[in-house]
Chains A and B, each alone.
Chain A
Amino acid sequence: MSSKGEILKRIKLNQPTEAAELPDLNLLGSEQFDVLETYKTVLKGIGGDPVEVTDYNEIINYIKENYNLEKRLITTLPELSEIASLDWKTVDPHSLQDVELTVVKAHFGVAENSALWVTDAILGQRVAPFIAQYLAIVVHKKDLVPTMQQAYQRIGNMEYGFGTFIAGPSKTADIEQSLVLGAHGARGLIVFLLD
């Protein structure tokens, strides 16, 4: 049977009795800096590529120029249907193994670490941003916040089954601290910063 009762009993007996109040988080996150410039600098610093665009047409052109359209490109954005397929959201996730590029949109981005917040609602499938060889994420410039402090204020009580912050391409430095991009997930990350 479960040890739940026993564990909880021991914890109750041993946990400190003095009350420790939770600290005020509003003291944090007041740093002032240029949000867009910081976002781009940090993203480049961790191996991602910021690309500023004014509309979806520019995104389409960029992808046409930089990726092989004969390979499998998938997206959740109807605006990109010309270059990427939309009908993969209910397939077996394993069948996404040959995807070359996944393009999704982020709820918002965070300047201090260039992370982008995505959830089930806009991912299509949970594995989609991980299994593709390359990843591109679209975010509106107005949706960049300075720090993680504002990020969680923005998330608030948002409902999701799965959500993740993605900052740069998948990477490892497990062999002699030599940085290698593309460990298991995407080998490259383009962030389209949309006006």
Chain B
Amino acid sequence: MSSEKVIPHSDAAAKFNKDVERVNWHDETLWFVRAKRDKSAHQIEDWELLRETASQIKFNVLSNIHDYLVEFEANAQQNGIIVHWAADAKEHNEIVHSIMAKHEVKQMVKSKSMLTEECHLNDYLAEKGIEVIDSDLGEYIVQLRKEPPSHIVLPAIHLKKEDVSETFHEHLGTEKGNYNPQYLTESARHSLRNTFLTRKVALTGVNFAVAETGEFVVCTNEGNADMGAHLADVHIACMGFEKLIPKREHLGVFLRLLARSATGQPITTFSSHFKKPRDGQEMHIVIVDNGRSTQLGREDFRNSLKCIRCGACMNTCPVYRRSGGHSYHNAVAGPIGSILAPNLDMTKNADLPFASTLCGSCTNVCPVKIDIHDQLYKWRQVLVKEGHTPTAKTVAMKTMATVLANPTVFNIAGKSGRFVMKNIPGMVNNKMNKWYDQREMPDVPEESFREWYKKNSRESKDKKNE
């Protein structure tokens, strides 16, 4: 896998934080979504039992995924669906392209699929001369702007209506300066309706695939997956193999959790169950590995494969809310993305498990009870051991360890530190010191606690003796 150079999370976050007003707005907007999630979850008496049940179902899936995949494929084939297997992103893209080529089609309409983002399908198809239009409104907006989505559920959450208005004015010819979301959405509806009516191939993601029946479920609020799939001659559905669940009845558990965790809605507007192609239609499923089987073998991290992509961990994360999705340089951002990404490329994504305060809020809201913050902590240890962290940090940590391990050195370091901060503050209060970024250094104490204690304990003894 290539390790192309990326801007480290902390640098990208620093840039994002330059516009204070905008960061505050981003922070509040996501917190608003988190609050809706809470309100919705608290209305369900069984909420905690649902989370526990979902987690147990996913545990069962991870232990039996081989057999469930075999069962799913057989049932899907019996239903008349063509099943493909892709070991990695490249093979996934080639399979999708081969289906397009077979039908001699040069245009595709696509509904939201984070997997195709992960595989960079759009870029691949563009190189082959195939035009892809993303039909989810948020994805459509970021696609027009040539940006990746910044959130798995809310792809354009980093943009303000003024930005969208500019983009639509440029690409759709909407009125300049009309920021009304109703007007802007209506314009996109008209443009995309024409797309749906003219595309022969539609690609969708998969939220859940049922081993028992060979059907798959796609959830949207806009109805874009259905508009695409039901009008196209060919429907291609792409899924990571961890989307599997054992039985149809388990959908009841996951559909109760998914939208409530994501946006606080009781359920998405459409939860569509695709079991057989309609008459005359061709239906394909592409089952993708792309590193998932490796993650399955990492005992400490395999739980990350339980993820149902609700985005709750992002909405609640104090770091995500104040750094924005693009700072994570990965298709899936936020806490869950930070434990999935190092598995895909350890060198490129070594910074991500450090983009967290380990506060644990992600773990508390996760509908399938993934121990997200524990895994972030464990990834840090793996990454340091394998030498993927910056030298400056490693040296600093080693120095710190030496100082803390030796009382004499600690004493001297403390004294000289206090002397420097008091008499030559410029040596500490400068750009070389990361702790000085966005902070005032504290006033220097006159003495260390140790010195204070020595003095005071003697004094108090003397007092008692009087």
A88 on the B face (CB < 8 A): no
Q: How many contacts between A and B, using CB within 8 angstroms?
A: 249
Q: How many residues in A have their beta carbons less than 8 Å from beta carbons of B?
A: 74
Q: How many positions in chain B have a CB within 8 Å of any CB in the partner chain?
A: 93
The answer for the CA separation of A16 and B53 in the assembled complex, in Å, is: 19
| Complex contacts, A152 vs chain B, CB 8 Å | 248-249, 251-252
Contacts of B289 in A (CB 8 A): 3, 7, 10-11
Given A153-B249, A161-B277, residue A167 in contact with residue B62 (CB < 8 A): no
Binary per-residue interface labels of chain B (24-63) against chain A in the complex, 1 for a CB within 8 Å, 0 otherwise = 0000010011000000000011100110110011011011
Cβ-neighbour of B269 out of A15, A126, A166 (below 8 A):
A166
Of residues 61 through 114 on chain B, the ones whose CB sits less than 8 Å from some CB of chain A are: 62-66, 69-70, 73, 79, 84-87, 91
- Tell me, in angstroms, the Cα distance from A7 to B294 when the chains sit together: 10
Give the Cβ gap from B30 to chain A, nearest Cβ, in Å.
9
In the complex, B320 has a CB within 8 A of chain A: no
Instruction: Report the minimal beta-carbon distance from A62 to chain B, rounded to whole angstroms.
Output: 23
- Answer whether residue B261 sits at the interface, using C-beta atoms and an 8 A cutoff: no
Contact of A183 among B223, B248, B251, B302 (CB under 8 A): B223
Taking the closest CB of chain A, its distance from the CB of B443, in whole angstroms, is: 43
Complex CA gap A134/B250 in Å reads 32
Q: Within the complex, which residue of A25, A112, A185 is in contact with B222, where a contact is CB–CB below 8 Å?
A: A185
Q: B275 on the interface (CB 8 Å rule)?
A: yes
Would A183 and B293 count as touching, CB distance under 8 A? Answer: no
A183 near B137 with CB under 8 A, answer yes
Which 6 residue pairs of A and B lie closest in terms of their CB atoms, listed nearest first? A185-B223, A14-B297, A183-B222, A113-B266, A161-B276, A174-B138
Q: B interface vs A, CB < 8 Å?
A: 29, 32-33, 44-46, 49-50, 52-53, 56-57, 59-60, 62-66, 69-70, 73, 79, 84-87, 91, 135-138, 141, 154-157, 159-161, 164, 181-182, 184-186, 189, 192-193, 196-197, 221-224, 226-227, 230-231, 241, 246-253, 255-256, 263, 265-278, 287, 289, 293-294, 296-297, 299, 302
Q: Could you pull out 28 A-B pairs where Cβ atoms are within 8 angstroms?
A: A10-B293, A10-B294, A11-B289, A15-B64, A15-B296, A16-B63, A22-B60, A27-B49, A29-B252, A31-B46, A46-B269, A114-B266, A126-B278, A148-B256, A152-B249, A160-B275, A164-B270, A164-B272, A165-B270, A167-B268, A167-B270, A175-B185, A176-B159, A177-B29, A182-B189, A183-B221, A184-B196, A184-B222
**13 additional contacts, CB 8 Å, given A7-B289, A15-B296, A175-B137?**
A2-B84, A3-B87, A14-B294, A147-B252, A162-B275, A165-B267, A165-B270, A177-B154, A183-B185, A183-B222, A184-B189, A184-B222, A185-B226
Residues of A within 8 A of B (CB): 2-4, 6-8, 10-23, 25, 27-31, 42, 45-46, 93-94, 97, 112-115, 120, 125-127, 130-131, 147-149, 151-153, 155, 160-178, 180, 182-186
